[in-house]
Structures are given as structure tokens and as C-alpha cells.
């Protein structure tokens, strides 16, 4: 689960490179970074709920935030972006790994029975 979550989050982040057509390099780099972090969170939500619907709704609500279409991310410093989104990514990784360990342990118990 963890490897899949990281790989899909990297892809999710890199897809935001398409925004280079309309944004600054720094602003798009920040989008790639926070999209990767949010991708890890969306993976966690998908694992917990076993549904992509809640993640899709959260993504929609995130995109509605004030300024998302006005390139305000170019005005944010990297330290703010990292302080806001890196903890979310780290917590998501820890929780995904914990859930993966629990699932593997349960599968091993089932195989013994």
C-alpha cells in the first residue's frame, strides 16, 4: 500500500506540471510539491474509506480555496508551503505504513488458520 501510495502521489504531483503553461515555474513547483503531499493524504483516505468519492470531494473543495486560480501560490514562500504540507505527507505515510502492517499481520493470521 505504501509503495503504491507514493508512486501514485508522485504521478499526481507531476501531472500538475501541465500548469507551466499558465503559471510561474516557482508557483508550479510548489503545486507539484503540495499535490504530492495531498496525494498521500488522498491515498490514506481511499485506504480508510475504501472509496475514491471522499477523496474526490476533498480535492474539489481544495480547488475551491480562495486564490487557487489566481497563482497566489507564487506569492507564498517555500517555508510556508513546506510547513503546511510536509507534516500532512509525513503523517499520511506513517498511517499508511501502520495500516499496511496491520493488514499484513491479519493476512498472516488467516493463513495460519
3 state SS of 52:
coil
Torsions phi, psi of 100, nearest 5? -65, -40
pLDDT at 24: 86
* Helical ranges in the chain per DSSP H: 2-15, 25-49, 53-63, 78-112
pLDDT along the chain (113 residues), means of 10: 97 92 87 95 96 93 69 70 95 97 85 70
Q: Can you give the pTM of this predicted structure? A: 0.84
Amino acid at each position: 500500500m505504501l509503495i503504491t501510495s507514493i508512486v501514485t502521489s508522485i504521478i499526481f504531483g507531476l501531472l500538475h506540471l501541465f500548469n507551466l503553461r499558465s503559471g510561474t515555474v516557482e508557483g508550479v513547483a510548489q503545486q507539484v510539491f503540495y499535490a504530492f503531499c495531498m496525494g498521500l493524504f488522498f491515498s490514506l483516505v481511499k485506504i480508510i474509506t475504501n472509496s475514491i468519492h471522499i477523496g474526490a470531494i476533498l480535492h474539489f473543495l481544495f480547488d475551491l480555496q480562495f486564490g487557487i486560480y489566481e497563482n497566489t501560490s507564487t506569492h507564498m514562500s517555500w517555508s510556508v508551503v513546506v510547513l503546511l504540507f510536509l507534516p500532512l505527507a509525513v503523517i499520511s505515510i506513517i498511517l499508511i505504513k501502520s495500516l499496511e502492517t496491520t493488514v499484513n499481520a491479519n493476512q498472516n493470521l488467516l493463513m495460519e488458520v
